[in-house]
Amino acid sequence: MQGTVAEGRGPVRYGPPAPGPALPVLPELAAALAGAARRTGPEPLGGGPELCEAARGYWQRRGLATTPERVVAAPGAQPLLIALLGAYGGDVLMPRPCPAWWGPQARLLGTPAYHVPTPAECGGVPDPYALLETVRRVRAEGGRPRILLLCVADDPTATMAPPETVREACEAAVAEGLHIISDETWRDTVHRPHETVPISPAEMCPEDVTVLADLGGAFTPPGWSAAVARFPDTAADAARRDRTLDILAALGAVVPAPLAAAAALALTEPAPVVERARRSAALHGRVAAAAHHAVLDAGAMAKVPQAGRHLYADLGPFRTRLATHGVTDSMDLEDYLTSRLATPTPGGHRFGDELGALRVRLATGPLLGATEEQRLDSLEAADPLQLPHVRAALDRFTAVLAELR
């Protein structure tokens, strides 16, 4: 049962947030970074007062009462998750599929990890009955299931788990003594925020959920590695926060001071940051909807993308045609589509999916333009789908899929 996910043939690795072309950096964030460039002192381990207070306010505005003492910051989600897994200990359960970077963190620690199927309507959250069955089976085999990883706004499927599904999964996890780590990197990238409101598991089970968020999901450029975690308000979790800091110290994982200044500004959510996040989510939503239509029109399958900068397609209906190109599993599919689309296109095996399933994550970033100027034009356009460079990229995307019918 232990997860042994194939890593793929190439050197490409996928961490939070999704790779690919990014929108130009917001001038206000660039100014904050430049203004702090002369800071010579190190940022405090776990984040300084300014950054932790900004994170407190961020969660407070989302209905999660927090104090700065319950916040930890790190230079990216990967080292922060490693520290959290080490601090809480035990075997890890995660949905199938799941973010590509989760499995490597567990393997790096030598921690057994188990995949749990998701409900039919969404990804990111395990089916509660499958979760209970998996926990009991792991224990029967001598394992120590202690942690459940989930993400309500999911990478890779780009779906939003319904609140009732989240509650059922969380209640099942808590009943079995699991601590939940909720990756909320993509919660602020919902394409239609007036139709889909994300609910954090921490609102449902406040004493049993640690929240993790990489700022590159919605607020900062992907290359500016900064992430924050919010711990529950219990004595046991205070001790685990201290253990998390110990591990981050051993890793030398401290947010650089200039980046901490930009991250703190982003988390206070001034008007330009909020507006950029809103417009970016709407842009990726429009393009993702067009790409989703192309996938379905070609005869493949994909859930409706609701958040993030990607969609997750099942090209199983093209199996016979793909076989003529030497494509028989998701590793082959990754190689084939990466070559045909001229952009990294990770296969489902990277996300814990079955190697034989012909699933792939398709990013929307490459459809926005090849240059920074084109991507900015896409962001500012009233109808980005009418821009020549976006239309050409979508036509190419559609043509590649059409070849496989």
Contacts of 271 (CB under 8 A, 6+ apart): none
Mean pLDDT of successive 10-residue stretches along the chain, which has 405 residues: 45 54 91 94 94 98 96 97 97 97 94 96 97 98 98 96 96 98 97 89 97 96 94 96 98 96 98 97 98 98 97 97 97 97 96 97 96 96 97 98 92
Token pair, residue 36, equals 């702090």
Residue 162: other Cβ atoms inside 10 A:
16
Strand ranges, E, within 160-273: 179-183, 209-214, 227-230
Which pTM was predicted?
A: 0.94
Contact 25, 240 (CB under 8 A): no
pLDDT recorded at residue 348: 97
Amino acid at 292: H
The residues facing 72 across adjacent strands are 229
pLDDT recorded at residue 17: 57
Contact 183, 149 (CB under 8 A): yes
C-alpha separations of 58 from 71, 186, 270 in Å: 11, 14, 11
The residues facing 74 across adjacent strands are 227
Residue 20: other Cβ atoms inside 10 A:
18
Token pair, residue 49, equals 């007062």
Contacts of 399 (CB under 8 A, 6+ apart): none
